[in-house]
Amino acid sequence: MQQLEELFHEAAGLEPPERAEFMSRLRESNPEMAEAVDSLIAAHEDPDNPIDSLAYEAAAEMIAAKQPALVAGQVVGHYQIVALLGKGGMGEVYLASDTKLDRRVALKLLPAEFTNHKERLRRFIQEAKTASSLNHPNIITIHEIGEADGAPFIATEFIDGQTLKRRRHTKMELPEILDVAIQVAGALQAAHAAGIIHRDIKPENIMMRPDGYVKVLDFGLAKLTEKTSASKTAGSEIDTMLRGHTRPGTILGTVDYMSPEQARGQTVDHRTDVFSLGIVLYQLTTGRAPFAAATDVDKLVSILEKEPPPLDEYAPKIPSEFQRIVSKALRKDREERYQTIKDLLIDLKNLKEELAFAQKLERSNLASGVGPTTRSSPAPQTDQTSIVATAGDQSLGGDRKWRVLLPVLAIVVFAALLIGGVFLWRRPASTPPPIVSAATVQPTVSYWITVQKYRDGKPYQEPFRLSDDINFEKDYRIRLSINSAHSGRLYLLNEGPAGADQTPTYNVMFPTETANKGSALVNENQLIQIPEQSWFQFDEQQGTEKIWLVWSAKEVPEMEAVNGFANSKDRGVISSPGLRTAVNQFLKDHFSAAPSIQRDKEKKETVVRANGEILVHVINLEHH
Amino acid sequence: MNEQFTRGDHNITQLLIKWGSGDKAALDELIPLVYDELRKLAASYLRRKSGSNTLQATALVHEAYVRLADQSSISMEHRAQFFGLAAKIMRDILVDNARKRVSAKRGGHQLHLSLAEVDRIGRKPEVELLALDDALKELAETNPKHSCVVELRFFGGLTIDETAQVMELSHATTERYWSFARAWLRREIAA
């Protein structure tokens, strides 16, 4: 090797004519060596040497992608991973199936570094188990805490819902906020009574089921990230931050919901949960964080020193009693705060009752004709609007809403009766009249296909738009454009060949990392183009290419699970048999409610309208 | 940015000393520190350059190490040791990650799609990285110093001068080692 290196340097240092001469001389004396030097020179001059960038690219990609630790199908203990549900500072959460008890569980994988702190891990396990054993309906049930490949995991009941994090930027209506608050406070009260402080109340840790049930997650988990008594002397969170202490895990999550005593690094008691819940309530009401700032340090300063803007600045109709409750929870001095979560809970419950009473009063006023407007019948759908309206100081906005809403409702009800009547008259009496609901929108999605013809490997003619499914030839390139008439969730799956279990494989086409940033959420009239920049290409294989289009106003758990695949790097292929079956079943179930399909030749688009809340449509591309 | 790192972190120095004196466990504690730092930096880069994916990884990796090492509490002697270590850690992290990804893909049921996104076909960096790691191991058997230079430059993000300093070599020698190893590895990976 030494000789090779010498010769390489000698050759590399020469100008081309001299080098050629040098090489030919070398070839004569040592042809093998000459060949080796030749190949090295070629490598040396390769302008695209991966060694110049590979590590950085790999590093960047790795850091940016943050690959999930587990993939579908993998087995952890007696759990089989189905899909990645989410990632947070405290690890990754997967949907898994418990192979022993045949049930779905949520599996949280904690960062491996926690195993280094046995004492902390022990305390966490103890607290988490105690909280779970309280058997409180609003505290998540832990099935097992175990360890797999050195990484601790927690298996809990799987909650089919979403965390409040998804909703923290949109204002909630007061009745719903009160419902959530009362349930969270109830969970905390039970935990506090058992001597357990949550320490990390935030929207991510509050899960809401579609039926309104709330579950508080991650009791005791904050114990893991607490500083040890030795480092406590290091000072407050701010100090550590300013000094750039790389505390492994100290601030793993967000500082947004910290109490002032947490920010200062003081010992906390149950009143820290009161403060954090106060922040959550503020945020749900206004859609913004009370202590917003550009950096973590500024946020902490804000938590310690600044008073948040009054609630009614962003939520003008909020009752003053609710304002008082939130601001009492947000007192910086914990001695001035609600002293127990029970006190907060009582105030919340009282307010809820008052509002319910006011609403009842309003209804009876309306019924006896004392109401602000005249109309035929009270509409139960508008409960929430009316509560907010009456709860507000002057209920002006509410009145206006009523005035607009009621005539509209009256017309709708009349129309419904009319249509119902017509149907009753035209159909045999045994078939029920169709239900016409004013509240639900009819899911409508329009789409078209842009085609680029290709001949001899080159684009041929200008791209054109198609509403219909035509025969595509080999090498045609296509792009799909989809427009959702309402904001909701959109999923696109390309159906592949069936596996051994007769269930097809699916490839997630939307959402993907590059399309809509991995989110299924689309806005009203948002135009989605897939693929965004390039084209899809048909290859040799002939047949019908099926693309499933799913639109739903609400989150579809099966589909959200699919989302995890699209975000990972396995090209969105759903390989997990469990999830494939679930998706297959879902598509079957909803496809039967066939949507109405209308081909608009003029606008060159296909408009699909669902026959229910969920739209499932299949786009068939014939390819021969 | 408000993430000012103004004062030293005794933790790192102590861990380095421990590791230097043969305490293997110290490395386990060091890795998360380095990794954490990288993640934080990456996040701030991504925030600044939102929308573009031209992540300046060179700067990123280098900045992370400099930030970790450039603290008053780390002496010159430990600094050199630190860079060597950081490069090793980076290599471990990246190779490990690449291996995981490759095996995840192999395990995954690849779907034969007739609808193939044209632009998706490209080289696979993780496969190349693993090949490079193997080639580097081979190089280390005959030319340990060359392999060290590559590790510092390639995984550590150090310049020729910094590498020369850490390895206590002259600039010219370091450059010679680098250019030979670079060509040799290129040839090995291509094969």
| Concatenated DSSP letters of A95-109 | EEEETTTTEEEEEEE
Which of A5, A41, A56 is facing B58, going by the closest CB pair?
A56
Contacts of A192 (CB under 8 A, 6+ apart): A270, A273, A340, A341
Closest CA relative to residue A72, chosen from B89, B1, B107, B31: B107
Closest CA relative to residue A508, chosen from A557, A549, A554: A549
Which of B6, B37, B108 is facing A71, going by the closest CB pair?
B108
- C-beta atoms of A49 and B182 within 8 A: yes
Mean pLDDT rounded to a whole number for chain A: 75
Say if residue A52's pLDDT is above 60: yes
For the stretch B81-107, pLDDT in tens is 777 777 777 787 777 767 766 654 443
Q: Three-state SS for A144? A: strand
pLDDT for the residue numbered A237: 55
pLDDT for the residue numbered A348: 96
Which of B39, B115, B186 is facing A545, going by the closest CB pair?
B115
Contacts of B126 (CB under 8 A, 6+ apart): A58, B97, B98, B99, B101, B102
Contacts of A539 (CB under 8 A, 6+ apart): A474, B114, B116
DSSP A257: T
Closest CA relative to residue A290, chosen from A326, A263, A334, A325: A326
pLDDT for the residue numbered A417: 44
The amino acid present at A216, given as its one-letter code, is V
How far off is chain B from A349, nearest CA to CA, in Å?
42
Q: Which residue is it, tokens 């329009």?
A: A446
Cα–Cα distances (Å) from A306 to A49, A267, A278, A309, in that order, read 54, 21, 15, 9
In angstroms, the CA A490 to CA A511 distance is 8
Closest CA relative to residue A72, chosen from A585, A511, A570: A570
Catalytic-role residue among A179, A200, A273, A347 = A200
Contacts of B107 (CB under 8 A, 6+ apart): A71, A73, A74
- Confidence band, pLDDT 50/70/90 cuts, at residue B35: low
Contact status, residue A530 vs residue A475, Cβ threshold 8 Å? no
Mean of pLDDT values over A28-50: 87
- C-beta atoms of A58 and B1 within 8 A: no
When mean pLDDT is compared across A43-57, A125-139, A221-235, the lowest value belongs to A221-235
Residue B133 has which token pair?
A: 């790691």
- Confidence band, pLDDT 50/70/90 cuts, at residue A541: low
- Beta-bridged to residue A86, according to DSSP, are A93
Q: What percent of chain A has pLDDT over 90?
A: 20
Q: Three-state SS for A530? A: strand
- Confidence band, pLDDT 50/70/90 cuts, at residue A484: confident
CA atoms within a 13 Å half-sphere pointing along the CA-CB vector of A223: 20
Mean pLDDT rounded to a whole number for chain B: 67
Predicted ipTM > 0.95: no
In angstroms, the CA A275 to CA A448 distance is 51
How far off is chain A from B173, nearest CA to CA, in Å?
11
Residues from chain A that touch B105, judged by Cβ atoms under 8 A, are: 569-570
DSSP A166: G
Residue B114, chain A, CB below 8 Å: the answer is yes
How far off is chain A from B140, nearest CA to CA, in Å?
12
Which of A243, A507, A573 is facing B6, going by the closest CB pair?
A243
- C-beta atoms of B101 and A59 within 8 A: no
Which residue on chain A is closest to B98 by alpha carbon? A58
Residue A623 has which token pair?
A: 């390819």
pLDDT for the residue numbered A500: 65
Residue A116, chain B, CB below 8 Å: the answer is yes
Mean of pLDDT values over A565-574: 54
Write out residues 223-262 of A within 8 Å (CB-CB) of B.
Answer: 241-246, 248
- C-beta atoms of B111 and A539 within 8 A: no
- C-beta atoms of A57 and B38 within 8 A: no
- Confidence band, pLDDT 50/70/90 cuts, at residue A542: low
Residue B18, chain A, CB below 8 Å: the answer is no
Which of A58, A73, A248 is facing B98, going by the closest CB pair?
A58
- Identify whether A539 is a catalytic site residue: no
Residues from chain B that touch A545, judged by Cβ atoms under 8 A, are: 114-115
Say if residue A520's pLDDT is above 70: yes
Q: Three-state SS for A110? A: coil
Contacts of A430 (CB under 8 A, 6+ apart): none
pLDDT for the residue numbered A186: 96
Contacts of A252 (CB under 8 A, 6+ apart): A89, A90, A111, A225
- C-beta atoms of A1 and B143 within 8 A: yes
The residue among B113, B143, B154, B174 with the most chain A CBs within 10 A of its CB, best to mutate, is B113
Q: How many A×B Cβ pairs under 8 Å?
A: 193
A473 vs A251, which has greater pLDDT?
A473
- Confidence band, pLDDT 50/70/90 cuts, at residue A425: very low
Size of chain A in residues: 624
A223 vs A614, which has greater pLDDT?
A614
- Confidence band, pLDDT 50/70/90 cuts, at residue A564: low
* DSSP annotation string for A190-243: HHHHTT-------GGGEEE-TTS-EEE--TTTHHHHSPPHHHHTT--HHHHHHT
Closest CA relative to residue B136, chosen from B123, B120, B124, B153: B153
Q: Give the highest mean pLDDT range of A195-209, A269-283, B125-139.
A: A269-283
- C-beta atoms of B118 and A477 within 8 A: yes
The residue among B54, B117, B129, B138 with the most chain A CBs within 10 A of its CB, best to mutate, is B117
Residue B141, chain A, CB below 8 Å: the answer is no
pLDDT for the residue numbered A338: 96
Phi, psi of A506 (to 5 degrees): -130, 150
In angstroms, the CA B70 to CA A230 distance is 25
Which of A243, A531, A538 is facing B7, going by the closest CB pair?
A243
In angstroms, the CA B177 to CA B143 distance is 9
Sign of CA dihedral B155, B157, B162, B164: positive
Residue A459, chain B, CB below 8 Å: the answer is no
How far off is chain A from B171, nearest CA to CA, in Å?
15
pLDDT for the residue numbered A308: 92
Q: Which residue is it, tokens 């395990």?
A: B107
